[in-house]
Structure 1
């Protein structure tokens, strides 16, 4: 079994317009929402997408994290919470041995969070 990252979850540029903070959400279908003192997400924001390859027709167990820690080059930290995906209830590889999963989440920003942030998304996949 193999897991290939097609696109990384990327909120691109989020602009905080006031001290109260706010949330930016990216849904697995690519829809974007903001709440609070955040302007809308840019068109370059992208959901994460992975492809699982394995034995055709096999049912699999896929574990995505509920929280993704992000760390800035200047030492700051943020987190993507409420990670959601378009994973079916009973995931199964198709007749070609593929399963595509898209995922998004919610990013809360407050205070002085300027900078670039990066983090890892641990994904576990097993045959059932």
Structure 2
């Protein structure tokens, strides 16, 4: 199973700046590793665009949320959060492995986010552009995008950051 966690930068008051994805030196399937077929290409996952929500602001103390669509990069705000513009970027990933093999991609249910001032938020409701049964192409590659919902409780905005663990395995 290949597993990686990458930084996602979120700001709910000022501008959101993307954070470069770290080098992917994490766990990878290796030839002959438990659960893999001898001679099978190992799976790897690379995140080459971080989830970025643009500029947002809180208008009151009741909290709010913003949801990013993985297909269109569109965002929708709810509650006391408003969109101030700026670029919204869906997360983008690339899976490499054995050509024409079915894979399973797992995203978390929730990811805690925190800001330097101690305020907290949460990413939930992850969605992807992947089909119901993802398959690597004839070159052993599969690109996908992902989005999520940022939930801020109360009126504390900030430059929220967190790590989103994503894993991939052969079916």
TM-score computed with the length of structure 2 as normaliser: 0.69
- Count of residue pairs the alignment pairs up: 128
1:44 equivalent in alignment to 2:100: no
Deviations 1:16-40 (A, max 9, x none): 1122222211011111111122212
1:99 equivalent in alignment to 2:114: no
Aligned runs of 1:53-64 on 2, under 5 Å? 53-64=96-107
**Which stretches of structure 1, 4 residues or more, deviate above 4 A after TM superposition?**
none
Larger radius of gyration: 2
**Secondary structure, in 3 states, of the residue corresponding to 2:82?**
coil
TM-score computed with the length of structure 1 as normaliser: 0.91
Counterpart-to-counterpart distance in 1, 2:87 and 2:156:
20
Does the Cα contact within 8 Å between 1:62 and 1:124 map onto a contact in 2? Answer: yes
Q: CA RMSD in A?
A: 1.5
Counterpart-to-counterpart distance in 2, 1:14 and 1:35:
11
Displacement of 1:11: 1.7
Give the alignment partner of residue 4 of structure 1, picking from 36, 46, 49: 46
1:24 equivalent in alignment to 2:35: no
Q: Gapped runs of 5+ residues in structure 2?
A: 1-42
Q: Gapped runs of 5+ residues in structure 1?
A: none
Displacement of 1:41: 5.3
**Secondary structure, in 3 states, of the residue corresponding to 1:24?**
strand
Counterpart-to-counterpart distance in 2, 1:100 and 1:42:
27
User: Match for residue 90 of structure 1?
Assistant: 133
Counterpart-to-counterpart distance in 1, 2:146 and 2:61:
29
